[in-house]
Structure 1
Amino acid sequence: MSAVYLVLLLLPLVSAQTFHWGPCPSPAVQPSFDVQKYLGRWYEIARLPNSFERGKCIEANYALRKDGTIRVLNSQLYKDKVSTAEGTAVVPDTREMAKLGVSFSYFTPYSPYWVLTTDYTSLAVVYSCTDVLRLFRVEYAWILSRSRFPLPQTVRYAKELLVREGIDISRMKATDQNCKDN
């Protein structure tokens, strides 16, 4: 019975997220993922709802640090101001290079950041899922591109891949990329 109360207490926290009952799925990730080729700027084309992205012109920049971790610099235009968030990505298991962990605070654990597919030059599909007591899961998914305006068939391919992997994209929203390049 206490688990039910805990779930009821947690629901307001995940209301701006995408959550589903049951544990996380295990989608296939990019085989032979090459972090070096993935570095650089990616524009967010579409995403599942989350509480930390409310603006437009959202992009992520990845750079290798001297200590081997990856600097993650996310930016967005919100209420006519550019806001940024800097985090760190790591590869916890070198046998699964496409399964990274990302944290934006020294006080929070690394969250999953799984690259399901990428060609490194035009498209990346990223998925994250966290189980909450194996009762429900909080999911994130992003379609990223090296261009603000990828071809429609590229976006369609990315969405089809997410669906094939059992990820519900019914709440996925396009990101407004009508912006000036920095």
Structure 2
Amino acid sequence: MTNKNIKELSPEQSEELLSTLKARFVKNMNRHNGLEWDKIKVRLQANSQKVWSLNEMEKTGGEPDVVRHDTKTGEYIFFDCSAESPKGRRSFCYDREALEARKQYKPENNAIDMAAAMDIELLTEEEYRELQQLGNFDTKTSSWIKTPAAIRKLGGALFCDRRYDTVFLYHNGAESYYAARAFRGSLRV
């Protein structure tokens, strides 16, 4: 009997996801020059809970792909690389506090709690800008990013998008939500 707290895919699901990730890796070599799929695959196969998180990213429309290798830790870093903000994570406010502050028309969820449930992190502004060096993302949508505590304490939250061939950083009330805004995540494996 399996423990329900352990987040794992079946062997078939894992193989299917690894096949999807490999195809995306091969198709988008510009995102990971110098990296080798076989080394990434070995690391993934040794980290079943991380594979589960990647599957959650995939299921919600994130199209995760390797964007960097941390030579200090040996970890590979995956970002959501879908052209637009992931469809399965849209129309969420920023965090639980913002969700609870809404008196009416509450969204289904919030970005921080969903990311935590998926065992991933919201992209920082720096990571978001790094992603934008790899292509044109969020040209019609926007994505919540990790917001500094000082801004969040005052009721705000940050999001980014790409318009006019420029990456913009904006602010909004953390309780706001829009059909074209989700969040992008990162995962270290």
Shared fold (TM-score, shorter chain, > 0.5)? no
Q: TM-score, normalised on structure 2?
A: 0.27
Q: Which has the higher helix share?
A: 2
Q: Which has the higher contact order (CA 8 A, sep 6+)?
A: 1
Higher strand share: 1
